[in-house]
Each structure stands twice: as C-alpha cells, then as structure tokens.
Amino acid sequence: MEVFSGLLQGFQVALTASNLTLCVVGVVLGTVIGVMPGLGPSATIAMLLPLTFKLEPTGAMIMLAGIYYGAKYGGSTTSILLNVPGESSSVVTCIDGYQMARKGRAGAALGMAAIASFIAGTFGVVALMLVAPPLAQMSLAFSAPEYFALMVLGLTMVVLLAGESLTKAVLAMLVGLWIAGMGTDLFTATSRFTFGRLELLGGIDFIIVAIGVFAIGEVIGNMELEKPAQMIPVPKGLRNLLPTWDDMKRCRFAFLNGSVVGFLIGVLPGAGATIASFLSYGIEKGVSRHPEEFGHGAIEGVAAPEGANNAETGGALVPLLTLGIPGSGTTAILLAALVLWGFKPGPLFIQDSPQLFWGLVASMYIGNVLLLVLNLPLVAVFAQLLKVPSYAMYPLILGISIVGVYSVSSSMFHLGLLAGFGLLGYAMRKLDYPTAPLVLGLVLGDPMEKALRQSLMMSQGDLSILLRPIPSVLLGIAALLLVVPIFKKFNAVRVQVIDREA
Amino acid sequence: MPPFARSGDFWSGLVLAALGTYIVVSARGWEYMGEDGPGPGFFPLWYGGAMIVLSLALVAGAVLGRRAAGPPLPMANLGRALLCWAAFVACIALMHLAGFIVAFALLTWFVIAVMARRPQRVALPIAIGAALGFHALFTWALEVSLPRGILF
C-alpha cells in the first residue's frame, strides 16, 4: 500500500510542468547522445551536472536519469542502421539488427528495439519500485563496518569486470582512491597530497575528474581518426516501423528474458548493461527453436539484448539509492550529483527524500512512454543526426566541458586540472586501463576511508570488528572474487565476458 | 631497445610505482594510529603500498615478456590526439588573456580548419557562430559566467 501512495506522490511530482519538461529534455538528449557514436551518457551527465546546480534537485535528477536510460534507446538506432554501436550496451544489437536492416527489415528492427526497450524498461522500474523500499529497510541495520565491507565488495565487482587485466583495474581504482584522498583530512585537519597549493585544500572536485576522463578523454581519442560509415536509410511511415504480429509472438520470451536478466544484472555492481545484453542474447539463442537464424537477422536477437540493457537501469538504481553504492561510471556520477545537491543515498534515502525517490520512479514510467513515442515515429529524425560531422561536435563538447568546470569553481587552475585529467583519460584508454574503477574509487574513496576509520575507532584499532557476521561475509566474497581469477579456468570465463563487452 | 621498453605496461607500471612510492613516503609523515583510532596516514599507506606491489608486478610482467605484457606504446595516431589536447591547453591558457569567447572561437576554428581540414568558408562561420552561441546561451539565457580574460 505504501508503494502505491508513494507512486501517487511521485506522479504528482513528476507531472508538474517543470519536471515534465526536464524529463522530455533528458530523454531527448539521451536519445541524441545514444544515437551518436563516441559520446556516452557518462560524459554527457558529467558535462551537464554543473549546469544543473541552478535547478531544483528533483527536476535535475529526473533530467540526468532521462539521459541515462534515453541513451540506451538511442544506441540501438546506430547499431541497426550503421553496424556501429551508439552505446557499448548496444554492441550485441549490431549482430542481428544490422542483418535485418540489410535484408530490408530495418523498420521492424528499429520498432522491435523500441518496443522491447519500453517493455523491459518499464519492468525495470516496477521492480525498482518493489525491491528498493524493503532493501532499504533491511540495510538500516548497517553501521560503519558493514558499509566499509559493502563498498569493498562493490569496488571488487567493478574491478573484476572492468578490464581484461585485473591488475590494471585495481591500479585504476587505487589512483581513484588517491585522488579522493587529496585535501584536508576531516578527522585531523591534516592536509594531504596538496603539493602546497591552496586550491587543493578542499580536494579535487569530482566533476573535474569525471568531465576530464570521460568527455575530454573521449574527444581526444576520437580525434585520432575519422571513420566514415555507410548508413542504411530508415523506412518512411510508421507502419513500416512496426513489427508484425508474428514478430511479436516470436519475441514473447525475449521480452521476459531481457526484462528479468537485465534487472538482475543491473543490481550487481560492475556487471552493467553490456553484459546484461550479451547474457540475454546468449539465453535467447540457447532456448530458441531456430538458433541457426541468430547472427543472420533473428528478431529475437534484437528484442532480448535491447530489453536487457533497458531493464538494467532499474536494477542499477537499486544499490545506488538504497545503499549508496554505484555499480558503474554513470551511476557513480549520479551518486556524486545526489551528494552535491545535499542528499544522502542510503537506507534512509527513501524515508528522508520521498519526493525525490518517488518523483524519479514516476518520471521513469513517463520517460519510457516518451521514449517509445520518440523512437517510433521520430526515429528517422534522430537518424539524421548521424549526418552531423564530428568535427562540428567535438569543439562543442570541449566548450561545454570548460563552461561546466568553470561554473563550479570560477577557477582557471581547475581548468588546467581539467586538461590534465583529459590527458589521463586518453592515456588510460590507449593503455587499456579501465576508467570505471578510477571513477568509483574517487566516489567511494572518501566514504570508504571514513567508514574504515569509524569502524576502527569503535573497536579502538581492533581489526576484528570487520569479522562481525555481515562484514565478514561481504569481505569474504570480495576476497574470493579477487582470488578466483588466479585459477585459469575461471579467469578465462571472466576475460570472455570482458572481451564481449569490449 | 629491448622489446619491453616498447610496452605500455612497462612505462605505465613505472609511473604508478613512482606514484605509489610518493604516496607511501607522504603517508609515513602523517600519524598512522592515534589514541582516537587510525590517523590520516593509515589509509594512504595501505593503498600506496598496494599500488607499488601491483605496478611492479605489471613492470615484471612486461620485462619477462608474458602474454599479459599489454599493448605496445600507442605511437600511431598519437600525434593528432596530442595536437588536439595541446590546442585545448592553449585555449585554456589564452583564456587568461583573451577570455572565453575569443579562445573558444580559435579552438573551434583550429579543430575544423586544421585538424579536420575543412575550408575556411566552413570553419570560420562555425567558429564565430559557436562562440557567440555559447555567449548567448550561457551568459544571457542561463546566467552562467564564462571565463573572463584581462582583455575581454
């Protein structure tokens, strides 16, 4: 009953003119960046985050979340028409989506991608709404040692699935912890790693690192080569975009598969939408009566992964909002946004900020409907964006990045840092260091250190406090996950999953 | 030049080992454990130590020529990427003097005319239009202040 009254309250919040407008802006922007290869939701959310400080936080969160899930809808358009994924989570859609387009069924593929995204995306929101409140209630029993162990487990899972080399993923995470540790220690007022610069006494703003590593690093990397591609035209008329009744019947299981797998994978930190889409594709092929059609334009091969990558959004928001643990680079930025606006994601978040939580949930129902409407009749309009030359886009991204950082600090020194982190982001890509662990280390570094020090204060320095039932189980799982790759067979499975993602 | 010297893992491992050493040395200067519990040196000492161990493992992997030695140093296409980055740095430096609009217009022109090799009739209007568009959108519409220089 509480859920329904909460949802009702949420719709009252989400349906105000300003929040509805921000939801539309978010999903349209998300679709646009999803369609355009080379610019992801992490970079976009990071760039726009400083500009949301003048907005009311609920509306701002509705917009940023709209970008997050809207990008997943848009990503399929590029996969189907260009055989180039607009988003990493749409990689697997290329396999059958592009083959369908080559056989003259681009419309059905685009339509099915939108319908599957809508069904599974809505399933994800329903599951989020039902799972988050009881999970938050359960985690009320958590104190500093439990939180520390939970953060260690979250970081471990992200590290485990972030890159082929576990060593590099851990190193990236450690660099994130180091950056998070810069500034004045709040327990003792000692200044750490400030290089004698007054500007660093307050630490390095998360926004500078996120925009530098994601947006600037991405632009620099994309400047290396121009890659022209041949686009298959979008069929004209809504009728040509709708799958047939037979297509819908064939995809019944794919809708369910994508929804459930996507949500469950989303809840796990580190796994993410790309792995969810590959897993659901594999399951779909495994249970299909026509597995030989997969790879040659099977419509279930579009429905299952597109559904999974959208249901994942709802799943990913569960640990973010109820435990304060993000599972990916993008959710880490959303966590930072909530903290910057003065909220405290965790067990008390739903109780303390019902307007924001339920407003966000309701806006996601609305956003999914909007995206279905946008992605069916307007898909041809969005596809035209692929004709915008990249040389015109990159300076705009650089400009928005500069304005974003400057609007937070009004400091030229921080713009210099932005350039430095841009180079770091580019170097990490070139040298195969995953960026997600760095960002997660940065976001979780401070609360993790605080939780560890509070735990040890509680026990007067005795580490056995971490052997209480919940922390010991969580830390045990984390240790097991780090040890498992030592065994070649398990590591081969891990690398296979990551290779697919890459 | 030995093969490992061309490995990205070798050089990045060395850089990270140096960073880890710096973290550990700095952390040793701060209190590790006080009367109230762990001090400011506690956490950095542990992650700094882990960084040294792991980065040296990366270096050793590259020197011993294992499969996990990682990609070779990415020299191909590096020039274009670094040129773009240098232009971005120059743009920020120029902002001290000329402010955002002039510096950003020059950066846009550079990317389009020099890096993408488009004709001036394309590059100039986009550069000027983008700079003025940013000014209109951020300064007037969103009331966000843009970086100001000594001159503008």
Q: Which residue has the higher pLDDT, A198 or A420?
A: A420
Over range A167-194, report the average pLDDT.
92
Chain B residues in contact with A181 (beta carbon < 8 A): 43-44
Over range A65-94, report the average pLDDT.
81
Chain A residues in contact with B100 (beta carbon < 8 A): 402-403, 406
CB–CB of A422 and B85 under 8 A? yes
CB–CB of A223 and B80 under 8 A? yes
Chain A residues in contact with B149 (beta carbon < 8 A): none
**Nearest CA to CA, how far is B4 from chain A (Å)?**
14
* pLDDT band of A66, cuts 50, 70, 90: very high
Lowest mean pLDDT among A192-201, A238-247, A468-477: A238-247
User: Is residue A493 pLDDT above 70, yes or no?
Assistant: no
User: Is residue A292 pLDDT above 60, yes or no?
Assistant: yes
CB–CB of A407 and B145 under 8 A? yes
User: Is residue B68 pLDDT above 60, yes or no?
Assistant: no
Over range A368-390, report the average pLDDT.
81
Residue A345, helix vs strand vs coil: coil
* pLDDT band of A476, cuts 50, 70, 90: very high
Q: What is the pLDDT of residues B87-146, one digit of tens each?
A: 999 999 999 889 999 999 999 999 999 998 899 999 999 999 999 999 998 888 777 788
CB-based contact A66:A14 (threshold 8 Å): no
- Of the candidates A474, A485, A190, A496, the one whose C-alpha atom is nearest the C-alpha of residue A319 is A474
Going by the DSSP 8-state scheme, the letter that residue A461 receives in this structure is T
* pLDDT band of A487, cuts 50, 70, 90: low
User: Given this model, what pLDDT does residue B76 score?
Assistant: 63
User: Given this model, what pLDDT does residue A72 score?
Assistant: 84
Chain B residues in contact with A171 (beta carbon < 8 A): 16, 51, 54-55, 58
- From chain B residues 20-79, the ones with a CB under 8 A of any chain A CB are 20, 23, 26, 30-31, 33-34, 36-40, 42-44, 47-48, 50-51, 54-55, 57-58, 61, 68, 70-71, 74, 77-78
* pLDDT band of B72, cuts 50, 70, 90: low
Q: How many CB pairs under 8 A join A and B?
A: 178
* pLDDT band of A490, cuts 50, 70, 90: low
Q: Which of A88-92, A396-400, B13-17 has the highest mean pLDDT?
A: B13-17
Single-letter amino acid code for the residue at B135: H
Q: Which residue has the higher pLDDT, B48 or B72?
A: B48
User: Is residue A495 pLDDT above 80, yes or no?
Assistant: no
Going by the DSSP 8-state scheme, the letter that residue A377 receives in this structure is T
User: Given this model, what pLDDT does residue B16 score?
Assistant: 97
Radius of gyration of chain B (CA): 24
* pLDDT band of A270, cuts 50, 70, 90: low
User: Is residue A327 pLDDT above 80, yes or no?
Assistant: no
Displacement of CA A112 from its chain's centroid (Å):
23
Lowest mean pLDDT among A29-38, A103-112, A179-188, A258-267: A29-38
Displacement of CA A420 from its chain's centroid (Å):
24
CB–CB of A430 and B23 under 8 A? no
Q: Could you tell me what percent of chain A has a pLDDT over 70? A: 91
The nearest alpha carbon in chain B to A460 belongs to B37
User: Given this model, what pLDDT does residue A357 score?
Assistant: 93
A204: its two tokens = 């390095």
Q: Does B136 reach chain A within 8 Å, measured CB to CB?
A: no
- Of the candidates A270, A271, A295, the one whose C-alpha atom is nearest the C-alpha of residue A282 is A295
Question: For residue A433, how many other CB atoms are within 10 A of its CB?
Answer: 26
Lowest mean pLDDT among A2-6, A196-200, A234-238, A244-248: A234-238
CB–CB of B31 and A188 under 8 A? yes
User: Is residue A38 pLDDT above 70, yes or no?
Assistant: no
Q: Which of A3-7, A19-23, A139-143, A216-220 has the highest mean pLDDT?
A: A19-23
Quote the CA–CA distance of B103 and A246 in Å, as a whole number: 58
CB-based contact A373:A114 (threshold 8 Å): no
- Of the candidates A465, A451, A418, the one whose C-alpha atom is nearest the C-alpha of residue A155 is A451
Which of A187, A392, A398 is closest, CB to CB, to B107? A398
Single-letter amino acid code for the residue at A388: V
Which of B37, B47, B71 is closest, CB to CB, to A432? B71
Chain A residues in contact with B34 (beta carbon < 8 A): 188
- Of the candidates A224, A155, A205, the one whose C-alpha atom is nearest the C-alpha of residue A426 is A224
The residue of A53, A397, A430, A482 whose CB has the most chain B CBs within 10 angstroms, and thus the best one to mutate to test that interface, is: A430
The residue of B31, B35, B47 whose CB has the most chain A CBs within 10 angstroms, and thus the best one to mutate to test that interface, is: B47
User: Is residue B29 pLDDT above 60, yes or no?
Assistant: yes
CB–CB of A178 and B19 under 8 A? yes
Q: What is the pLDDT of residues A431-452, one digit of tens each?
A: 989 888 898 888 888 888 988 9
Over range A19-26, report the average pLDDT.
94
User: Given this model, what pLDDT does residue A48 score?
Assistant: 85
* pLDDT band of A18, cuts 50, 70, 90: very high
Q: Does B15 reach chain A within 8 Å, measured CB to CB?
A: no
* pLDDT band of A75, cuts 50, 70, 90: confident
3-state per-residue secondary structure call for A186-214? CCCCCEECCCCCHHHCCCCCHHHHHHHHH
The residue of B28, B46, B84 whose CB has the most chain A CBs within 10 angstroms, and thus the best one to mutate to test that interface, is: B84
3-state per-residue secondary structure call for A299-334? CHHHHHHHHHHHHHHHHHHHHHHHHCCCCCHHHHHH
User: Given this model, what pLDDT does residue A344 score?
Assistant: 86
User: Given this model, what pLDDT does residue A186 score?
Assistant: 80
Which of B83, B96, B126 is closest, CB to CB, to A392? B126
CB-based contact A181:A449 (threshold 8 Å): yes
User: Given this model, what pLDDT does residue A226 score?
Assistant: 61
Q: Does B137 reach chain A within 8 Å, measured CB to CB?
A: no
CB–CB of B130 and A395 under 8 A? yes
Quote the CA–CA distance of A332 and A314 in Å, as a whole number: 15
* pLDDT band of B25, cuts 50, 70, 90: very high
Cβ contacts of A358 within 8 Å, gap of 6 or more: A6, A7, A9, A10, A13
User: Is residue A228 pLDDT above 60, yes or no?
Assistant: no
**Nearest CA to CA, how far is A166 from chain B (Å)?**
10
* pLDDT band of A293, cuts 50, 70, 90: confident
The nearest alpha carbon in chain A to B75 belongs to A430
Q: What is the pLDDT of residues B31-59, one digit of tens each?
A: 998 877 888 999 999 999 999 999 999 99
* pLDDT band of A157, cuts 50, 70, 90: confident
User: Given this model, what pLDDT does residue B69 score?
Assistant: 53
Chain A residues in contact with B150 (beta carbon < 8 A): none
User: Given this model, what pLDDT does residue A116 score?
Assistant: 93
Q: Which residue has the higher pLDDT, B1 or A284?
A: A284
CB-based contact A450:A444 (threshold 8 Å): no
